[in-house]
Amino acid sequence: MTARCTRIGVISDTHVFSIEELPEGLVAALRGMDLIVHLGDYMGRSLLDALKELNSFRGVYGNMDPLSIRLVLPEKDVLEIGGKRIGVIHGFGAPWGLAERVTREFPGVDAVLHGHSHTPANELLDGVLRFNPGSATGRFPASGKTYGIVTLGDDIQGEIVALP
C-alpha cells in the first residue's frame, strides 16, 4: 500500500520584503502545498509573517537576513515528516562544494534542503536527496526564477519549477 504523499513547497533566496513582491503564481502554488519551507534570505519580517499566515510553515535564516529574522528562526533544522528526516539550512561559503558542505551538517537524513547559491539543484547521491530550489525571484546572478516541490511518499523526490 502506498503512503499518503506530502508535498512541500520549497523556496529560498527571495531577497524581498513582502509577499506582494513574489512572482505571480508562486503564492497560489505555495497555498496548495502541505507545507512551505523557506531556506533563508527573506530580507523582511513581513514576508516571513505572511508565509506563516499562508500555510503550514518551517524555515531557517540566511546570511543576508536581518536580526528580526534571526531572532525567530534557527540557522538549521531537521524536519521529521512521514518517517523521513530532512535537514534544512541556508548554506554558507562559496558556491563550489556547497552541497557537500551542507550535507555534512546532517548525518543520517533522507534529504538536505539548502539555498545560498541561487542555482537550482536536484540530485540523489548515496541515497540522500540534495535539493536547492534556486531563487524564487531571480535576484542577483541566478538561473531564472525557480522554486521547488519535494514530495514525500514511499520515497522522496524533488522537482524544480520554473516561474515566468
In the chain, where are the structural domains located? 6-162
Q: pTM of the full predicted structure?
A: 0.95
Per-residue pLDDT at 3 exceeds 80: no
Who has greater pLDDT, 137 or 139?
137
pLDDT digits (tens, 9 = 90+) for 70-98: 999 999 999 999 999 999 999 999 989 99
pLDDT at site 44: 87
Enter the C-alpha cell of residue 150. 519535494
The architecture that CATH gives domain 6-162 is: 4-Layer Sandwich (3.60)
Classified as helix, coil or strand, 98 is helix
pLDDT digits (tens, 9 = 90+) for 24-55: 899 999 999 999 999 999 998 999 999 999 99
The C-alpha atoms of residue 148 and residue 7 are separated, in whole angstroms, by: 10
Longest dimension (CA), the chain: 46
